[in-house]
Amino acid sequence: MTLLSRMHRAAGVFLVLFLLAGCASSPEDATEGPQVYDPIEPVNRVVFAMNDAVDTIVLQPTAFVYKNAVPDPIQDMVRNFLLWLRSPVVVANSLLQGDTENAGSATRQFFVNAVTAGLIDWGDGLGWGYRDEDFGQTLGSYGVAGGPYLVVPLIGPSNGRDIVGTVVDIFFDPLTYLVSGPGARNAITIARGTGEAVDFRARNYEGINDLKASSVDYYARLRSIYLQRRESEIRNGQPPKGVQSADGSEEFQNFEPSDRPQSVTGELPANAN
Amino acid sequence: MTLMHRAFFGFLLCFALVAAPAFAGSKGETAEQFVESLGDTAIAMVTDKSLVGEARREEFRKLLNANFDMRWIGQFVLGKHWRRASPEQRETYLKLFEESIVFTYTNQFDAYSGQTFEVTGNSETGRYTVVSSRIVDPANSSSNVLVDWRLIEDDGTFKIVDVVIEGISMGITQRNEYSAVIDGSGGKIDSLLVKMEEILENLRRRA
């Protein structure tokens, strides 16, 4: 089976999920986590548990060795290279969002760093940075809702919109057209995915371990973090317009502490205590 | 209503209209100063190598209760389940909630490596004042972390009710997580308390 036919099949599956999302009603209580919409939670939890096992058995030990045995300058080069490979996708999506400034920064970075095959980031510390953009964010910026929350094997948290985005981004990636033959293409996809996973896990080694250790429900915590983070990335870190947003501002506006009859910040609700 | 009354209220209204924007500005600045001084105190505490173990946790606990409205946050995080909780469950929950925060954060003190803290602005959203800030890592200038602080004002004193790190609200995250545990066990608040106790035990062991 070729990569393309596999993609077609995947696209079919997600179309079905999208339609399901459209039919299903909105999440239970609008004031309790408005953006959490997880219709296939039991399936997601199984996939999540498998991913977590892979993390514990394979990824975490690999990242530990990588972090401690590989010299820091080499680790930086790996990271620079991975970011450099991604930059054409950032350029394409920035342009689609009408953000020529970010597209310009990413383009400059791509050509300047190409001189050293992407291994060195020549713009580091010069304020040349750009935001990461992907097609999931592009869709979001045009008002496409996240759809159902999904945990993808080996990849992790995602949702309907972002999975479509991930597939579309493959077409924005020059590597897709430069490499011939599905064998070589798959090998590169796997190598790159592994590299990104190890790099990410190594840079957030303690952070992820602490997050896991302090969670009463690691699945629910990561779900909430993923959804909020994506909302924020779509808005490019800007505060939402108005309080009628899915980022939780509304939850704060609606919240009335029940033990504060005298407070200017909340009136005593009728059913308090 | 007499003419006198009307004149008085007219005057009061004018005064309020003039005073309001000026007051709002200074309120935002006061909130900024509040967060700024909290940041300074926190960095001083983190870098104080003589402060270890229970003494460090006690200092942190004091700082937490002086600057954060823990009862407010605890209620927000428990959400719709707060109303159903018995007074005993509420007290147990609030205690566990505070202790998990104390252990989670004091356990990470040693990860500090010279980051600085700067306040960058403020805004009003509804009932809240939001102070924006930035944590700068001198070793890696491109990895700034943006942190927003949501504050309420009660009788002229500010209290923090939420911390938003790179768009991720700690309050919302905890609320989603806790409600997943309670809903997953058929609505039993005690099952959350048991889980929280287990996690706290883990965190104590890591301390």
Question: What local confidence, expressed as pLDDT, does residue A273 receive?
Answer: 39
Least confident of A35-49, A232-246, B78-92, B101-115: A232-246
The C-alpha atoms of residue A96 and residue A234 are separated, in whole angstroms, by: 13
Least confident of A109-113, A205-209, A268-272, B34-38: A268-272
- Sequence letter at residue B100: S
Question: What local confidence, expressed as pLDDT, does residue B114 receive?
Answer: 87
Q: Which of A31, A79, A216 to mutate to test the interface with B (most CBs of B within 10 A)?
A: A216
Partner-chain contact A248 B111, CB within 8 Å: no
More confident residue, B47 or A28: B47
**Nearest CB to A214 within list B80, B175, B203:** B203
Measured CA to CA in angstroms, residue B67 lies from A140, B31, B42, B144, B170 at distances of: 36, 12, 11, 24, 16
B105 interface with A at CB cutoff 8 Å: no
Q: How far A55 CA lies from chain B's nearest CA (Å)?
A: 20
Question: What local confidence, expressed as pLDDT, does residue A22 receive?
Answer: 41
The C-alpha atoms of residue B162 and residue B148 are separated, in whole angstroms, by: 8
B202 interface with A at CB cutoff 8 Å: yes
A258 pLDDT more than 60: yes
Contacts of B7 (CB under 8 A, 6+ apart): none
Instruction: Report residue A7's pLDDT band, with 50, 70 and 90 as the boundaries.
Output: low
**Nearest CB to A29 within list B72, B80, B180:** B80
Instruction: Report residue A20's pLDDT band, with 50, 70 and 90 as the boundaries.
Output: very low
Partner-chain contact B142 A124, CB within 8 Å: yes
Measured CA to CA in angstroms, residue A41 lies from A29, A83, A140, A220 at distances of: 17, 32, 23, 10
Question: What local confidence, expressed as pLDDT, does residue A162 receive?
Answer: 96
- Using an 8 Å CB-CB cutoff, list chain A residues near B203: 213-214
Tell me the two tokens of residue A155. Answer: 């990849």
The C-alpha atoms of residue A230 and residue A269 are separated, in whole angstroms, by: 33
What phi and psi values does residue B145 have, to the nearest 5 degrees? -110, 125
Does the reported pTM lie above 0.90?
A: no
Question: What local confidence, expressed as pLDDT, does residue A257 receive?
Answer: 81
DSSP code per residue over chain B:
--HHHHHHHHHHHHHHHHHHHHHHHHHHHHHHHHHHHHHHHHHHHHH-TT--HHHHHHHHHHHHHHHB-HHHHHHHHHGGGTTTS-HHHHHHHHHHHHHHHHHHHHTTGGG--S-EEEEEEEEEETTEEEEEEEEE-TT-TT--EEEEEEEEEETTEEEEEEEEETTEEHHHHHHHHHHHHHHHTTS-HHHHHHHHHHHHHHHHHH-
Partner-chain contact A216 B150, CB within 8 Å: no
Partner-chain contact A229 B71, CB within 8 Å: no
Question: What local confidence, expressed as pLDDT, does residue A33 receive?
Answer: 45
- Using an 8 Å CB-CB cutoff, list chain A residues near B162: 252
Partner-chain contact A217 B83, CB within 8 Å: no
More confident residue, B110 or B186: B186
Q: What integer best gives the mean pLDDT of chain B? A: 87
Contacts of A94 (CB under 8 A, 6+ apart): A100, A102, A103, A106, A130, A133
- Could you read off the pLDDT of A132-157 as tens digits, one per residue? 999 999 999 999 999 999 999 999 99
Question: What local confidence, expressed as pLDDT, does residue A247 receive?
Answer: 52
More confident residue, A121 or B119: B119
Question: What local confidence, expressed as pLDDT, does residue B16 receive?
Answer: 52
Partner-chain contact A219 B180, CB within 8 Å: yes
- Sequence letter at residue B140: N
C-beta of residue A251 within 8 angstroms of C-beta of residue B172? yes
Q: Could you tell me what percent of chain A has a pLDDT over 90? A: 53
Other C-beta atoms lying within 10 Å of the C-beta of residue B17:
9
| Average pLDDT value for residue range B180-197 | 95
Question: What local confidence, expressed as pLDDT, does residue B117 receive?
Answer: 92
Count Cβ neighbours within 10 Å for each residue of A106-138 and write b for 16 or more, e otherwise: bbbbbeebeeeebbbbebbeeeebbbebbbbbb
Partner-chain contact A129 B206, CB within 8 Å: no
Q: Which of B86, B179, B190, B198 to mutate to test the interface with A (most CBs of A within 10 A)?
A: B179
Instruction: Report residue A249's pLDDT band, with 50, 70 and 90 as the boundaries.
Output: low
C-beta of residue A192 within 8 angstroms of C-beta of residue A85? yes
Strand pairing category for A149-152 and A156-159: antiparallel
Question: What local confidence, expressed as pLDDT, does residue A30 receive?
Answer: 38
B156 interface with A at CB cutoff 8 Å: no
Q: Which of A265, A267, A268 to mutate to test the interface with B (most CBs of B within 10 A)?
A: A265
Q: What is the ipTM of this complex?
A: 0.83
Question: What local confidence, expressed as pLDDT, does residue A269 receive?
Answer: 42
Question: What local confidence, expressed as pLDDT, does residue A268 receive?
Answer: 40
- Hey, what long-range contacts does A102-111 have (CB within 8 A, 24 or more apart)? A102/A130, A102/A131, A102/A133, A105/A129, A105/A130, A106/A130, A109/A84, A110/A84
| Among A residues 150-189, those touching chain B with beta carbons less than 8 Å apart | none
The C-alpha atoms of residue A23 and residue A40 are separated, in whole angstroms, by: 14
